[in-house]
Chain A
Amino acid sequence: MIEVNGITKSFQAVTALKDAAFAAPDGSITGVIGPNGAGKTTALRILYTVLRPDTGLATVDGFDTVRQRADVQSRIGVVPDGRGLYPRLTAREHIRYCGRLHGMDRTNLETRIEELAEVLRMEEFIDRRAKGFSKGQVRKVALARALVHDPQNILLDEPTNGLDVASSRAVHALIKGLRDRGRCILFCSHIMAEVAAISDRIIVISDGRVMAQGTPEELTDRTGQQDIESMFLSLTADLGSA
């Protein structure tokens, strides 16, 4: 369960988020959509504790992302904006490193790595060093290390960006599986079709403001537009006229 209340965040002269408020419930996939530079990544970074909001409160399962950072960190799994790997470590070592930093014990950790390698189909490169991995392979390692401690809340920044169709579908299936097990998933994307395809709830962000949020049906009712792109355009046009 993720809640954001009245968050503002500025970088020098640029205001990235203005009084943003939204929620992502458990057992649900929440998609954050918006153009480049809308504030999606900043919102996620505040939730995964690497940035502090100027004002407002962000909580994960009720824990404050600023004052209870460690509690939040142990309840989230993150594929962040920066998802580089260590070129001299193998895929398995990357996942193991993350698991150990979460304090997992050895036997649990090793079985969990085998499980993830199977689910994400990583067997072929699991013991190869990351130098020279394809984009898809890098993405799988990033996902596996985010999920190694089986977190309740999962934050994904552009999870399928740069992946081919088959790999994207595999990631979508994985996300839906997590949702069906009651996890709270919050992801952001600038690909509208992707958000439309898998989201139970949609949050529209533009220019640092939350323009609308709700189920896809609620949003189409409100805007009178059927497809998500027209809906998005009509919502952001409101901003221009207001």
Chain B
Amino acid sequence: MWRRVFVVFAKEAVDNARDRRSLLVALIYPLLGPILLGILISAIVDVVTVQPEEKLVLPIAGMEHAPELISFLRRRNVHVIPSPSDPVRAVQEGAHEGILVITPAFAEHFAADETASVEVVVNSSRLPGLIAVNNILGVLGAFNQEVWSRRIAARGVDLKVLQPLEIKSVNVAAGTHIAEFLLFMVPPLFIFNLFMGGVYLAMDTTSGERERGSLESLLVNPVARWGLMLGKYLAALLYTAVAVAVQLIAFAVIFWIVETPDLSFTSAMSPVVILGILVMTLPLMMVAVGVQVIIATVTMSYKEAQTYLGLLPLIPAIPGMVMVFAPVQAQGWMMTIPIFSQTLLLGQFVRGEPIAIVNVLLSMSVSGLIAVGLLLIAARLYEREKLIFGS
């Protein structure tokens, strides 16, 4: 029986290798996610590295009201330039990322040792705007502290009394770069691709076979129905695994291309990591193909199967997409949820975080059990008489 299962598997694998559409889904579609991510990363790297802090260009309106502030800024290596006449509009239009506005009352309040106010005009909906506001507030904070310590010293008080906190931020990411935030996009792209890779083959070998009218000729051969199903299932699984491997390699290549001295993802996608991810997600691939075969078997026609299976990859990608913006700390119980557990573990893999073997095993065995259940259901569906007519 196993030899005949292999005969079916080999026929479907070869047949679909001759089909441009199957190859497109298995070999070209998986490249799209990594390419998109590569473009995003390099765009962000440009924004972040073009404006290092020491060369901050700061347009200032009302410079004449605060000579001491201006000279402080110049000492701090800030390139001070005059502001355009309408600072708000200039920022809105993107001519400048941030503008400091000094009000005429500044001089009077400052001279009187009172609180003098300045306005920082920025557009925080843009990433460069966020970086500008961070830099401007940093340098103004330093000025604040200098003036403040001088005034306090004049009154005979030690500055430390008034500074209960000295804040230094320590970034725990393996690197320290904002672009690493984008690594959170790897899991949803991966899951989407995993549910996409074998979809065409699952449809072609089941509802496609029925619509071509070749199914009856196949069923009359002395091979158990579950054997026929399994051969087709394994062929779809092979194409899924190929699509997943192609995507992982594409991620590795893209990370290597966008790499800069202070931004390195190459460790995130070493050959060992790629192999580990393939093994870890194999049970999930089995679940995906099981669902695809079942849907392709119970639907009336190829078109109907296409309608459901076209939407299918989006649904499992949702947890990962949500986690891009609301990251979740992996917990043991989460490993019992297929898709969710792989999304979490994959995130840990690519961000170079430590991974608990127990979690991997738990995730694999739960998904593996579900995959076996789906296989049993698919085998039963193949026994139905309706198979030759469509439901």
Contacts and interface: CB of A to CB of B under 8 A. Distances in A.
Contacts of A74: 222
Interface stretch (A78-86, A110-118, A174-182, A206-214): A78-86
Nearest to B210: A82
A84 B3 contact: no
A103 B4 contact: yes
Interface string B206-226: 000000111111111111100
Interface in B202-245: 212-224
Interface stretch (A47-55, A185-193, A221-229, A230-238): A47-55
B385 interface: yes
Where chain B touches its partner, the secondary structure class is helix
Nearest to A79: B217
Nearest to A78: B220
Given A49-B219, A88-B19, A101-B223, A82 B4 contact: no
A100 B4 CA distance: 7
A88 B220 contact: no
B214 A82 contact: yes
Contacts of B224: 70
A48 to B, nearest CB: 5
Interface stretch (B7-15, B305-313, B319-327): B7-15
Contacts of A82: 213-217, 388
Interface in B224-279: 224
Where chain A touches its partner, the secondary structure class is loop
A73 B212 contact: no
B216 A70 contact: no
A49 B7 contact: no
Contacts of A87: 212
B168 interface: no
Interface in A197-223: none
B160 interface: no
Contacts of B385: 50-52
B18 interface: yes
Given A51-B385, A70-B222, A98-B221, A81 B7 contact: no
B95 to A, nearest CB: 59
A102 interface: yes
A45 B388 CA distance: 11
Interface string A137-171: 00000100100000000000000000000000000
B214 A101 contact: no
Interface string A37-76: 0000000010011111000000000000000001001101
Contacts of B222: 70, 73-74, 101-103
A52 B387 CA distance: 13
A89 interface: yes
A200 to B, nearest CB: 24
Contact of B214 (A48, A73, A86): A86
B7 A100 contact: yes
A32 B229 CA distance: 33
Contact of B7 (A45, A70, A76, A97): A97
Q: Nearest 4 pairs between A and B by C-beta?
A: A84-B213, A82-B213, A73-B222, A80-B216
Given A83-B214, A142-B217, 15 more contacts: A45-B388, A48-B220, A51-B385, A52-B385, A70-B222, A82-B388, A83-B216, A83-B217, A84-B213, A97-B7, A98-B217, A98-B221, A100-B4, A101-B218, A101-B223
Interface of A: 45, 48-52, 70, 73-74, 76, 78, 80-89, 93, 97-98, 100-103, 142, 145
16 contacts: A70-B222, A73-B221, A73-B222, A73-B223, A80-B216, A80-B217, A82-B388, A83-B213, A83-B214, A83-B216, A85-B212, A87-B212, A88-B15, A101-B223, A103-B3, A103-B222
